Each structure stands twice: as structure tokens, then as C-alpha cells.
Chain A
């Protein structure tokens, strides 16, 4: 399968690979996918007191398109409010990376990872009453 230039570029130079402290109350972690299916994404966001995403990191086990989708997602997340971040749709990722139909599930997984990270962050905040 031929990859788009953008997929190749992200896969070769992935942005924001890494790990944030999952125990930090300001960090939300989303872990989606399954090893048996061939892709697992972990996407983390660090949210500032103003509700804006300060930092985003990912690690992905998956094909080049999965790596590129999560790499792109972290780029897009930084500087967005949680509300804006939750508006990111998989079709935007498909368009930006020119993903072929067989790779659309990679973009779906990235959208799921974003949603899951936001949800994790919100749960944490709700569980921890403000001092």
C-alpha cells in the first residue's frame, strides 16, 4: 500500500511521543484499541487551570497510519480548550492525512483516544473536590 506523504512524514518524525504522569490530577489518559487487533493508542493530555490543553503526548502500537493519526492528534490538541478538543472528528484526520478507506479505523481510534483522555481527566477532576 502506498502511503501519503503526510503519513510518511508523521511516521518518520512523530510529534510528542512520550509519557505524562498518569497520577497527576491535571493529566487525562486515554488507552484504546487492543493488541490482538494490531493497534493500541495511548494519548495523554495535561490541562492547565484555565482549562486549556498545555501538553499532549502519545505512544502507539500500530501501523504507520495509526502512528500518524495519533501524532497529528497530539499536535491539534495543544492549545485547545477541552470543549474544542472534544469537537475533533476522525474525518478531519482522514482528510489531513489522506487515509485510504482501509485505514479509516486508525482515525476512529485516534478520535476515541482523544475522547477517552478527556473523559479520564474530567472523572479525575470530579472525584477530587477542589481545595
Chain B
């Protein structure tokens, strides 16, 4: 078994650009460098044509009715901001209530907090142990003041996949707009804005083997026609929805990435599911007291989030430093607080500190999975040997009854 180190198993954070994507992008840096907004010469026309082609590919990828429903942005954070602030500002006379959930990305949660300061009311729905919000919860939360529901397709930490089709039925019935941050799930699990009655959706290229720095917001144009107020003023690009010179090479790459995902996503997801299960069973067969965070039924195929009792996440990451993963441990963030997502699932602080997120993707191999599984098993055993908690636990001491000195 030969693997090349370091191994990248953090595909939720970002993905490498697929070589096929890069190949399509390259001419747009050099000979086809025109500004897509230049209407008066061929350099501009070539760039514009490339952008429109990408727009069509992306529209098709998510099931949009028209390519005019795609607004290019700098990435999903901007898309989320534009969706929430844009809708809130346009529909503020209709209502001031927004519904989201506690495990959303910070781009949603912090945008909601800002809207609250501006007088909007936000309901943050709790999630169940699997990290899911139900359509019934959404129904119960909708009031006559509700203008928007924003729920992610799939969670970036635990991979839980929301039942958007059911939720979309409720929002459509109630006449409330539905936005979805679809960044993590699109291309990996089913996502169709028509079928799911999604009215706005944020996506980004770099999570699907395209370049960083480009994303899109889908804004439905019919049944219903969704209106947003632009948050960036300037030249009126993107039908006035988002001013700023278009990032043509990246948009071209985004289009190609979407096309590849559309053609290969299903097969790729099956492969990833197999590899993920191989990793999970290998680890869990050899180690005791390993807990799965999130849902096993509704989960991204490439996501595995495990807590290793009595092993601290950052120490674990250091011990497997040739493998890039991420942790919900406090020590990995500046805040010294463990993951708010794991907390929302009801995972205790201690197990949240002990969590590791493995993210498998397009270029993950079986040899890599086997190598990582063996390494994890060895290092968890090693760290447990030097964990006072593991020793106490093995002696039969209930750690919950110990008087700890919080610091």
C-alpha cells in the first residue's frame, strides 16, 4: 500500500480544482481576458459569451428554469448575505420575521444577527440529535409576519441533509420564501430548486472542484418572482443585483465544475459512500467508545464526524498531522468554545472536544482510507494511554461525578 503524504481529508473546507476545470479557465486569464461588460468590442463579447455559457450550465445543474436566475457573486458568504439582506430589505413592508436554524453557517447566523439589530425578528429553530429540522417545525414557526425561511441543504460539520422537499411544500403552501445555503450538498445529494420549491439558493465553486472566490445566488424569477435589493452599488452588473466586474476565468471554471458534477456526481457519491463506510467500520471495529455525530440516514456521503472518548481533538489532529482533517474542539478556534453545531445536536462539551471531521472527496483513494483508519486507531490508543480521563474511565469512575476545576 502506497500513499502520498500529506493526505487531504478535509473536503468540506475546500476542494482542489479539477484539472479539467483549470484547463477551461486558463485561456480566460491571457488571450480571452476581456471584461464581460464591454459591449463594444470582441474581447468583451468573448468574455460575455463564456459567462453566459457558465450561467446556463449552473442553472441546469440546480434545476433552474432560466439562466437569468443565476447571479454571480464572490462566494457563498456573499450569496447568503445578498439573499437574506436583499429579501429582508425588499419585503420589509410585508413582514419582519425570518426563520432559520441553529446549525447554519456563520454567514447565515451572523447576517441574521445584523438583521435583528435592524428590527427584524429571527427564529432559530433547534435541531434534533441528528442535526435535522422537520417540515412540521417550520410550519409551526411560520407567522403572518414571516417573509423568509433559510435552511441549509447539508451541514458542513456533521453532514446532516435537511428534508428540503418537505420543507419547500410547507413554505410554498404558506406563501413564504425559502432560501437554502446549498454549498455543502449540491452535486453530492439531490438538489433541484423546482422539485424542492427553493426560491433562493447559495452555491460556491470551490466546494465542488472549481476555483475559490466565485459563487452564485439562485433567485427564482417565476412562480413566484422573487425580488431582492442589491447590497453592492456600482455598475449595475448581474441585472442590477450585484455590481462588480465579473470574475470571468473563475466563472468559466465554475460552469465546468457544475457540468462535471452533473455528469459524475451520482457515481461519485456512491464511491464516496463506500469509502466513508469503509473508514467508519474499520475504525469502529477496532476502537471502543467511538461515537458518530449526526445522522446515518440523512448524511453527506463523504462526511464522517466521530468523537473518540477521552481523546482531545486538537491533540488527535497533531498526532495524525500528515492527514488533513478538522475538529470541533475548542482549541482549533480562537474562541476556546467547542463547536456550536455539535452542541446544538446535544453532544456534550467533552465529546465535542473529542470530535474529528473526516471529509472525503473526488480524489480520495481506498489506500488513503486504509492508511488513515490504521493511523487513527494507533493514535487514539496512544492518546488514550496518556489520558487521565481514559484511565479513570477504565477504573470505573463516573467522570460526571468528579469535582472538576473549571478554568
Contact = CB atoms under 8 A, between A and B. Distances in A.
Interface string B223-259: 0000000000000000000000000000000000000
B404 A38 contact: no
Given A38-B353, A62-B315, A33 B407 contact: yes
Contacts of B385: 17
Interface residues of A, number: 33
A69 interface: no
A11 B388 contact: no
A33 B386 contact: no
B318 A60 contact: no
Interface in B332-362: 332, 334, 336, 338, 348-350, 353
B329 interface: yes
Name the prevailing secondary structure of the A interface residues.
mixed
B331 A63 contact: yes
Contacts of B390: 61
B314 A61 contact: no
B407 A108 contact: yes
B386 A34 contact: no
B38 interface: no
Given A19-B391, A60-B386, A62-B315, A102 B350 contact: no
A79 interface: no
B336 A61 contact: no
B330 interface: yes
Interface string A35-63: 11111111000000000000000111111
A38 B318 contact: no
B315 A67 contact: yes
A99 interface: no
A28 interface: no
Contacts of A61: 310-312, 387-390
B350 A109 contact: no
Most B-side CB within 10 Å, residue of A14, A36, A108? A36
Interface string B319-336: 100000000011110101
A11 B318 contact: yes
A64 interface: yes
A76 interface: no
A38 B406 contact: no
B23 interface: no
A16 to B, nearest CB: 10
Contacts, number: 90
Interface in A1-38: 1, 3, 8, 11, 14, 17, 19, 31-38
A105 interface: yes
Interface string A96-114: 0000001001001100100
Given A42-B388, A59-B387, A64-B315, A35 B349 contact: yes
B404 A34 contact: yes
B296 interface: no
Contacts of A37: 330, 349, 404, 406-407
B405 interface: yes
Contact of B312 (A3, A31, A38): A38
B404 A35 contact: yes
B388 A31 contact: yes
Given A3-B318, A40-B389, A62 B312 contact: yes
B405 A35 contact: no
Contacts of A39: 312
Contact of B388 (A59, A102, A109): A59
Contacts of B332: 1
B287 interface: no
A35 B353 contact: yes
A58 B399 CA distance: 18
Contact of A36 (B310, B315, B404): B404
A36 B349 contact: yes
A34 B407 contact: yes
Contacts of A58: 386
A34 to B, nearest CB: 3
A18 to B, nearest CB: 9
A105 B330 CA distance: 13
A86 B389 CA distance: 25
Contacts of B312: 38-39, 61-63, 66
Contacts of A42: 388
A14 B319 CA distance: 12
Interface of B: 310-312, 314-315, 318-319, 329-332, 334, 336, 338, 348-350, 353, 385-391, 399, 404-407
10 contacts: A34-B404, A34-B406, A35-B404, A37-B406, A37-B407, A38-B312, A40-B389, A64-B315, A67-B386, A109-B407
